[in-house]
């Protein structure tokens, strides 16, 4: 147990692992005022800029005048309103699944699913770079956790062969700190091909693909043409590409009914405020409309422009085609120092350090948005050029 709080904090400071919050005072597109200082935002997950869209705000305002500000209780008591129910039906249709279930956050959705489905004798196989919530859910379930090397299908196949129980195979769809995609078609094949009497279920966390990838924005599974049969458990978040708040799990009717019975992070918590769900419904309509398609196209142009320009500057990015474009630095102190220098130049890029990423792999996690214009990206490039050469 930590009893000397000061000593623990000092240690973190020494190691370059100290975490601090900045206070956002004003938001206008990607132009912010933070701690009293104007800066450009290159660290948000609001990839399409929908959190500031007038239709989301109007939906929130209108709903606030119609419904109670809070839901008043958990879904299974009296908190499940027709607004929640309608959003669930729309999310099921959007993702092409039988049913969807709302959770208050993505963190809670992952905890709820894994701890509801897995028990002590089961195995949970995870990519080494999966999100912390997937690891925490596994710890909560008491199942046997095995991590395979990042995107390494030979390592996954070996671990699948070794597993002595049923297996839940879990992966981020788009890796949150690297921006690359899981090799999903290969994973689907491996999950189906598993010999013997044991079962393998595949679960994908699409926090960073939802709203952003695929023709209609339905995420990495739409992008790769994978069905509910291929990937029976899909988790998506509503606070990133959708620009709202919350999360959902989508899959078969029986899966969703089981989660309603068993997922403790669903049962023992207050339902989302109805107005937040109305904002999400407005976002869902936009994501599937021309606005969504246009913003996805602009985002892709921004990604292409940024990648091409960094190459010209001789900076080597990690291999990613998504809005998450990390620059590997290695040392935590150095990553912090560069992030500080960028900040001094009015560019906000967060330094991501262990334990969020493996030791020795601290990085600048640059995220692009459809709201970035050329001059914003040029300002970032200029700052990177100064601070990294
Ligand atoms: C952000 C994130 C989550 C958690 O979602 P919240 O709704 O923010 O709690 C889960 N998984 C991944 C991969 C994420 O990036």
CA of 142 to the centre of ligand 1 (A): 21
CA of 311 to the centre of ligand 1 (A): 30
Give pLDDT tens digits for 128-174: 999 999 999 999 999 999 999 999 999 999 999 999 899 999 999 99
Give pLDDT tens digits for 60-102: 999 999 999 999 999 999 999 999 999 999 999 999 999 999 9
> What residues are labeled active site?
176, 208, 240
CB 180, CB 210: distance < 8 Å:
no
* Lowest model confidence (mean pLDDT) among 161-175, 189-203, 211-225, 246-260: 189-203
pLDDT for the residue 18: 87
Q: Is 220 in the pocket of ligand 1 (CB under 6 A)?
A: no
CB 193, CB 157: distance < 8 Å:
no
Tell me the backbone φ, ψ of residue 97, rounded to 5 degrees. -120, 165
pLDDT for the residue 20: 87
Q: Is 247 in the pocket of ligand 1 (CB under 6 A)?
A: yes
The three-state secondary structure class of 68 is coil
CB 278, CB 62: distance < 8 Å:
yes
CB 288, CB 86: distance < 8 Å:
no
Q: Is 137 in the pocket of ligand 1 (CB under 6 A)?
A: no
Distance CA 94, CA 285 (A): 10
What average pLDDT does the structure give for the chain?
Answer: 96
CATH number of this structure's domain 54-288: 3.40.640.10
Measuring from atom 5 of ligand 1, which residue has the nearest CA? 106
Q: Is 214 in the pocket of ligand 1 (CB under 6 A)?
A: no
Strand 144-148 relative to strand 123-127: parallel, antiparallel, unpaired?
A: parallel
Distance from CA of residue 180 to its chain's centroid? 12
130 CA: nearest ligand 1 atom: 13
Percentage of the chain beyond pLDDT 70 is 99
Other CB atoms within 10 Å distance of the CB of residue 48 = 27
CA of 280 to the centre of ligand 1 (A): 16
Letter string b/e over residues 102-114, b meaning 16 or more CB atoms within 10 A of that residue's CB: bbbbbbbbbbbbb
Q: Is 179 in the pocket of ligand 1 (CB under 6 A)?
A: no
CB 240, CB 48: distance < 8 Å:
no
CATH number of this structure's domain 21-47+289-387: 3.90.1150.10
pLDDT band at 196 (very low <50, low <70, confident <90, very high): low
pLDDT of residue 49 exceeding 90, the answer is yes
pLDDT band at 178 (very low <50, low <70, confident <90, very high): very high
Each domain of the chain, given as residue ranges in start order, spans: 21-47+289-387, 54-288
pLDDT of residue 195 exceeding 70, the answer is no
CA of 195 to the centre of ligand 1 (A): 33
Please give the structure tokens belonging to residue 55. 């239709």
């Amino acid at each position: 147990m930590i009893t000397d709080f000061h000593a623990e904090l000092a240690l973190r400071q020494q190691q370059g692992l100290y975490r601090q919050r900045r206070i956002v005072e004003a938001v206008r597109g990607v132009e912010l005022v933070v701690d009293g200082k104007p800066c450009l935002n290159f660290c948000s997950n609001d990839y399409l800029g929908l959190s500031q869209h007038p239709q989301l705000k109007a939906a929130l305002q209108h709903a606030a005048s119609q419904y109670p500000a809070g839901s008043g209780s958990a879904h299974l008591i009296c908190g499940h309103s027709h607004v929640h129910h309608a959003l669930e039906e729309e999310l099921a249709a959007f993702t092409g699944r039988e049913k969807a279930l709302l959770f208050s956050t993505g963190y809670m959705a992952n905890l709820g699913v894994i701890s509801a489905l897995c028990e002590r004798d089961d195995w949970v196989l995870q990519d080494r770079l999966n999100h912390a919530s997937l690891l925490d859910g596994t710890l909560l379930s008491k199942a046997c956790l095995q991590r395979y090397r990042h995107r390494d299908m030979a390592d996954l196949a070996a671990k699948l062969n070794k597993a002595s129980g049923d297996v839940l195979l879990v992966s981020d769809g788009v890796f949150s700190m690297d921006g690359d995609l899981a090799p999903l078609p290969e994973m689907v094949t491996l999950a189906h091909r598993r010999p013997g009497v044991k079962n393998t279920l595949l679960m994908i966390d699409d926090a960073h693909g939802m709203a952003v990838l695929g023709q209609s924005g339905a995420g990495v599974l739409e992008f790769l043409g994978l069905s509910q049969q291929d990937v029976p458990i899909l988790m998506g978040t509503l606070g990133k590409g959708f620009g709202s708040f919350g999360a959902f799990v989508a899959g078969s009717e029986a899966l969703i009914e089981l989660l309603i019975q068993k997922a403790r992070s669903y049962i023992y918590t207050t339902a989302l405020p109805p107005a937040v769900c109305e904002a999400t419904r407005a976002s869902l309509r936009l994501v599937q409309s021309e606005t969504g398609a246009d913003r996805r196209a602009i985002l892709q142009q921004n990604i292409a422009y940024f990648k091409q320009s960094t190459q010209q500057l001789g900076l080597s990015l990690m291999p990613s085609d998504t809005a998450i474009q990390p620059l590997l630095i290695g040392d935590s102190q150095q990553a912090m120092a560069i992030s500080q220098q960028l900040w001094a130049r009015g560019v906000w890029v967060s330094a991501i350090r262990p334990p969020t990423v493996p030791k020795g792999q601290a990085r600048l996690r640059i995220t692009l948005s459809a709201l970035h214009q050329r001059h914003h990206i040029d300002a970032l490039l200029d700052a990177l050029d100064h601070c990294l050469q």
